[in-house]
Amino acid sequence: MLTPMQFNKGGKLPRRLAEIWAQLDEAQRRSLFDFAEFLLARGDAAGDAADVGSEAPLEPAHHPRPETESVVSAVKRLSRTYHMLDRQRLFSKTSELMSAHILQGREADAVIDELEEVFQEYYRDYLDSFGQK
């Protein structure tokens, strides 16, 4: 396991990451890449939350679910659809579901179904904050 000190020791992280990569099978490499994409998407979406002082709730954008979709792509799609939601509030649950898929092998379709429910639930909470349903 990497310790925080190893991150700052003159370029050893890329070498260590390459060593880890070389020891993984193809499925594990895909999972590592998917998780890196998820972390990147989470960082991109951090500043996208709508202004809290809005007078009326914003409507979700329409981004239909493709026939085949990765969990990372689903998180990105749902983040674009529900652009008004606070990503920090969603982070815990989306991370939990992403981990269930990557680390525990839960099927992508089941995880995406649950992600959609989570985003819808948070949107209902958002509407409640405006006194609407």
What gap in Å lies between CA 60 and CA 47, rounded to an integer? 17
Top-confidence residue, 28 or 116: 116
What gap in Å lies between CA 127 and CA 117, rounded to an integer? 15
> Which range has the worst mean pLDDT, 50-54, 56-60, 63-67?
50-54
Neighbouring CB atoms inside 10 A of 82's CB total 22
What gap in Å lies between CA 14 and CA 47, rounded to an integer? 28
SS3 122: helix
Q: What is the pTM of this model?
A: 0.65
What gap in Å lies between CA 93 and CA 114, rounded to an integer? 10
Can you read off the two tokens belonging to residue 10? 């003159």
pLDDT, tens digit (0-9, with 9 covering 90-100), for 26-35:
877 777 777 7
